[in-house]
Amino acid sequence: MKYLSKYDIAFKGLKEGKHRYEFDIDHKFFEKFNFSEIQKGNLMAEVYLTRQSTLMILEMTVKGTVELQCDRCLEDYSQEVENSSKMYIKFGAEAEEMSDEVIVITPDENQLNVAQYLYEMIILGLPIKHVHPTNKKGKSGCNPEMIKKLKEYLVEGNEAEEATEPEDQRWQALKKLLDNK
């Protein structure tokens, strides 16, 4: 946990106004999160903390690349990530997360660790399907041997339709009743 302490922002004693912080994110960062789908990355996080008398506003932006495993060919590839988020931090009697954007902390706290929030931003910035990007010619960056193997075992759509049973005519008559209402 000591490594993640470099993502602490000490806000006690800060003057009111906007304060800027930068954080580098590399493979050591992702090692600290269990079961992370990202093992390597090179990202830069920019965090603005706006301190006000009753609350703080955190504006975070993450840009860079991470290494992911392709869902199609299972080889690693580099994925660009860019995401931003805004959070409001209020002071209250008990620490709690009221929503994704609002956090309550106790007045006796003097620093905030943003590592978990940065990690979540990176994960949310990833595409749902992890596949190699296409090159300028429109060709996939996937391993051609693996794509060839996948095509060998691909079931064609027409063959699957022929294997299904024909529709019962009684259902056709019932559908006509629904259409006439």
Domains of the chain, residue spans: 3-124
* pTM check: above 0.75: yes
Per-residue pLDDT tens over the stretch 131-164: 988 888 888 888 889 888 888 888 775 554 555 5
Q: Are strands 17-25 and 40-51 parallel, antiparallel or unpaired?
A: antiparallel
Per-residue pLDDT tens over the stretch 16-48: 999 999 999 999 999 999 988 898 999 999 999
For 23, phi then psi, to 5°, come to -135, 135
Question: In angstroms, rounded to a whole number, what is the distance separating the alpha carbons of residues 141 and 73?
Answer: 9
Q: What is the pLDDT of residue 45?
A: 97
Per-residue pLDDT tens over the stretch 54-71: 899 999 999 999 999 999
pLDDT, mean over the chain: 88
